[in-house]
Structure 1
Amino acid sequence: MKSSKTKTTVWVVEQGQGKSRLDQLATEEPLEIRFVEPQRTVAVTMRTPGADFELAAGFLYSEGIVQHHDDIQRLSYCVDPQVDGEQRYNIVNVALRHGFLPDLQPLERHFYTTSACGICGKASLEALQLRGYTALSDGIQIDAAVIYNLPERLRSHQAVFSSTGGLHAAALFDLQGNLLALKEDVGRHNALDKLIGSAFLSNELPWRDRIVMVSGRSSFELVQKCLAAGAPILCAVSAPSSLAVALAQEFNITLIGFLRGDRFNIYSGKQRIRVLL
């Protein structure tokens, strides 16, 4: 198993004086996700090593490639003797259940788009509707005070971030604000995929009474993943994108941004948050 941290020597300049010291960086390496049958590479993502099986499962679930816990029979690292031993931990093989032929069309966009360019917003929403996703129900409501405490609880449990300063996190909370799980990665999308994948492999989805909190901003992809996981509330410390808001409004997801201190903005689904007027 590869380490999530890498040591390096840095030159520190402070008040006009310089000195060298040992520093730790968040490791970033590619992860290739392969299907065993049919044999093909389905995605390559840059990630921080750790929870690789959860990342693969979460990615495939949130992209609609697998829908049920038993769609995946086995997850394993590459054992191909022709692949350098050090790189085998950068390849995850996914064995699907016998007779299951997934629709791989949703994966096509990952080979020619990024979160910076994306695809047409209207087409993105229509694609999710065609997958059978429907608006989430209004069955829960929580006090605003619960939301205020989430960022500090997330930061206090970021083990790798505390030593490297270079990782995003995705955390799962219950409706009382208790931290249930947290995953870290150089990418926000990967961190959330790891979180979802862990729940998927444990057969703990959907998250109908859970809160998701992410560091950074919220994008279309992050809201999409919460929709797939059935999470009704997504909080972020920074701003959402316009398409993230449109998606949250379309599928009745409570989307919270700029969550800092004792304030936050609600961009969609305000009926789930109790506030004083």
Structure 2
Amino acid sequence: MNLADIPLRPGGAELLPVRGVRARQAFDNRDWVAVEIPVALEFNGIAHAVMLATPTDLADFALGFALSEGILLARGELYGIEEEYGPEGITLKLEVASAAFARLKERRRSMAGRTGCGLCGTESLAHVSRALPALPPGPSLSKSAVARGMRELASLQVLQKVTGAVHAAAWCTAEGEALLVREDVGRHNALDKLVGALAKSTLAASTGFIAVTSRASFEMVQKTVAAGVPLLAAVSASTSMATAVAQETGLTLAGFVRGDDLVIYTHPGRLNGQPATA
């Protein structure tokens, strides 16, 4: 199927014909498949990045991407977003403040994003990591709240239940209640969507934590810290670079969060009722 044949409607799944064998019985049916299309981001008319993403919550994605990448320092620097649908994909046209546009030009990337990669196309080693402010001490969180948050995230993954092919990220309260959930075929995209939704909400990011259905890679940590969230809980492992950044910035990083089990990589005090210090 050509990309142009996929309906670009607000929805993350398409019914497509499938064939296979289940329980030794052949079947010929239709099944839900996650939508993945190119989504381009333009800032003040200048093309900046193309990501393969699920075309849902695109305004959240655009805002979250810009904040996570440090292009915007605050939501108020974004003046508007226009979505342009075409046969090759979707273009998100962002109008940003002149200061944000100048910031973008200083650290331009020629990115061609992929769902499994967060740093594709970075032009130099200097662009990989950027200075991030240290997270303030606190709040005190409990391991049971982290476990609850991961359980609630799993129960709220509507698109994943239909397709079995997407990641999700959730912002949870200090008690573990998942109040915001976003999904996408790319783990970075799901987190960007969540960051954007969080920025548009009245929730205080620093009072809760983020739970994700992927590993805790370097960029997932960087996006969490940039959002001002003090704890990242991942269903899979951390990496050495992610752990180093978390340690430096005061982020509590937990991996292999499955049931009541977890591994704490950095700043365990925050999960033992003590403030974390960077």
Q: 1:76 to 1:173 in 2, by over 3 A?
A: same
SS of aligned partner of 1:101: helix
Larger deviation, residues 14-23 vs 232-241? 14-23
Shift of 1:2: 3.2
Shift of 1:119: 7.4
User: Are the aligned partners of 2:143 and 2:260 in contact in 1 as well (CA < 8 Å)?
Assistant: no
Tell whether 2:82 aligns with 1:65: no
Shift of 1:134: 2.2
Letter of the 1:75 counterpart: I
Q: 1:230 to 1:116 in 2, by over 3 A?
A: closer
Shift of 1:137: 1.8
Q: 1:112 to 1:150 in 2, by over 3 A?
A: closer
Which residues of structure 1 form unaligned runs of 5+?
Answer: none
Shift of 1:124: 6.5
Tell whether 2:129 aligns with 1:165: no
Encode CA deviations 1:86-114: one digit per residue, 9 max, x unaligned: 55x71111112367533224342635994
Q: 1:101 to 1:180 in 2, by over 3 A?
A: same
In the other structure, the counterpart of 2:130 is 128
Letter of the 1:198 counterpart: A
In the other structure, the counterpart of 1:250 is 248
Query: Equivalent residues in 2 for 1:104-183 (5 A)?
Result: 104=104, 105-108=106-109, 110-111=111-112, 114-115=117-118, 127-129=129-131, 133-183=132-182
Letter of the 2:107 counterpart: P
For the aligned residue pairs, the C-alpha RMSD in angstroms reads: 2.6
**Aligned match for 1:53, one of 50, 59, 63:** 59
User: Are the aligned partners of 2:73 and 2:100 in contact in 1 as well (CA < 8 Å)?
Assistant: no
SS of aligned partner of 1:238: coil
Q: 1:190 to 1:204 in 2, by over 3 A?
A: same
Encode CA deviations 1:177-235: one digit per residue, 9 max, x unaligned: 11110000000100010011122234656x11111000011111110001110100000
Letter of the 2:69 counterpart: E
Give the percent of matched residue pairs that are identical in Structure 1 and Structure 2: 32
Query: Equivalent residues in 2 for 1:34-113 (5 A)?
Result: 34-35=42-43, 37=44, 39-78=45-84, 84=86, 86=87, 90-97=90-97, 101-104=101-104, 105-108=106-109, 110-111=111-112
Q: 1:140 to 1:118 in 2, by over 3 A?
A: farther
Which residues of structure 2 form unaligned runs of 5+?
Answer: 1-8, 274-278
Encode CA deviations 1:245-268: one digit per residue, 9 max, x unaligned: 011011110000001122100000
User: Are the aligned partners of 2:71 and 2:100 in contact in 1 as well (CA < 8 Å)?
Assistant: no
Corresponding residue pairs, total: 262
Q: 1:269 to 1:119 in 2, by over 3 A?
A: farther
SS of aligned partner of 2:102: coil
Q: 1:263 to 1:119 in 2, by over 3 A?
A: farther
In the other structure, the counterpart of 2:188 is 189
User: Are the aligned partners of 1:64 and 1:106 in contact in 2 as well (CA < 8 Å)?
Assistant: no
Q: Quote the Cα distance in structure 1 between the aligned partners of 2:130 and 2:98.
A: 27
